[in-house]
Amino acid sequence: MNKEKISISLADLLITLAGSIMFSTKAIMVKLAFAHTPIDALTLLTLRMIFSLPFFLVAAFSASNTKGNIRMSGRQWLWVIGLGLFGYYLSSLFDFIGLQYRSAGLERLILFLYPTFAVLINAFIFKQAISGKQKIALLLTYLGIGIAYFGELQIDTGNPYFFLGSFLVFLCSITYSIYIAGSGRIIPVIGATKFTAYAMLAATAGIFLHFMVMGNYRSLSAGAEIWWYGILLAVVATVVPSFLISAGMKKIGSNNVAIVSSVGPVSTILQAHFILGEPVFTEQIIGTLLVIAGVLLIGWRE
């Protein structure tokens, strides 16, 4: 069997590492925005997409006008739009609302379960067998989440929305795993850049429509600070890391990107501790190590 050989340089690894760390700042920025401004989750998410929109439009135009562009069928358009709404509209909405009630560290750990959910989706919907290695990985990740969750429950007994926040982030992880599992079947047909650009545009349209119907327009005039949080979320935690991770996948391969990206939960926990003042406790450390081990085992290729 031929195996793809990928030349890995330090620069390529650093690009991927930078993208992963920048992605992990999202939860920190959202928590800071909630703490220092009167903004709500839907308004903050809308601002994030407003400032991300120009980049998505440029990417979509570029992808559709490159040599070898593949015109999508009506069915493929439905797939892209549906996955975009699941992967970035619903998942982001659940995530932002959940972060109002959950610590950034636990949010990142729960969210990091999405590769395991993608395995289960592929098994039950697309009838892909779960290997013995994957079963061990699933056991490790869910054991790790259980340990971390129990530890945080002990120190956050006064939070009446503890379970609600956890459940919303859990839903975010599930909806994002649907996006991952589905994208794996359409990206080989239409290309990664084109799929991502149009899926993000579909998600942006969903978020804008949601805000038009149910948004708090007064919050947009609450001060310049909320707009700066929107810009930072769009540029630092969305657009730039997306391009860095895409470049990393092209240079070092998706499996190596998955390994490097496991720094995400650790990065979030450290940032949450030093910036937000969230405590670091033994159960969190053990749970994080088990979750990372399980996710790496799922993505491992001999």
List all residues 6 or more positions away from 130 whose beta carbon is below 8 Å from its beta carbon. Answer: 119, 120, 123, 138
Residue-wise pLDDT tens digits, 226-258: 999 999 999 999 888 888 887 776 777 656 676
Domain count, the chain: 1
**Mean local confidence (pLDDT), 143-172:** 87
180: containing domain: 10-299
Residue-wise pLDDT tens digits, 93-119: 999 999 999 888 888 888 888 878 888
Task: Note the pLDDT of residue 4.
Answer: 44
| Coil, strand or helix at 115 | helix
Task: Note the pLDDT of residue 39.
Answer: 92
Residue 225 in this model has a pLDDT that exceeds 80:
yes
Distance CA 24, CA 223 (A): 26
| Residue of 258 and 62 predicted with greater confidence | 62
Position 293 in a domain: yes
Q: Return the minimum-mean-pLDDT range out of 4-8, 52-56, 116-120, 202-206.
A: 4-8
Average pLDDT in the chain: 86
Calculate what percentage of the chain has a pLDDT beyond 90: 40
Residue 291 in this model has a pLDDT that exceeds 70:
yes
Residue 1 in this model has a pLDDT that exceeds 50:
no
User: If pLDDT is split at 50, 70 and 90, which confidence band does 299 have?
Assistant: low
Task: Note the pLDDT of residue 92.
Answer: 93
DSSP-H helix ranges across 215-281: 224-234, 240-252, 254-260, 263-271
The H or E element that residue 81 is part of is helix 74-84
What's the 3-state SS for 146-208? Answer: HHHHHHHHHHCCCCCCHHHHHHHHHHHHHHHHHHHHHHHHHHHHHCHHHHHHHHHHHHHHHHH
Residue 90 in this model has a pLDDT that exceeds 50:
yes
Kindly report the number of other CB atoms within 10 A of residue 219's CB atom.
18
Position 3 in a domain: no
Position 2 in a domain: no
Task: Note the pLDDT of residue 2.
Answer: 43
Position 254 in a domain: yes
Task: Note the pLDDT of residue 8.
Answer: 64
Task: Note the pLDDT of residue 57.
Answer: 94
Position 265 in a domain: yes
Residue 219 in this model has a pLDDT that exceeds 60:
yes
Sign of the four-CA dihedral 179, 202, 232, 42 = negative
Position 188 in a domain: yes
Position 241 in a domain: yes
Position 5 in a domain: no
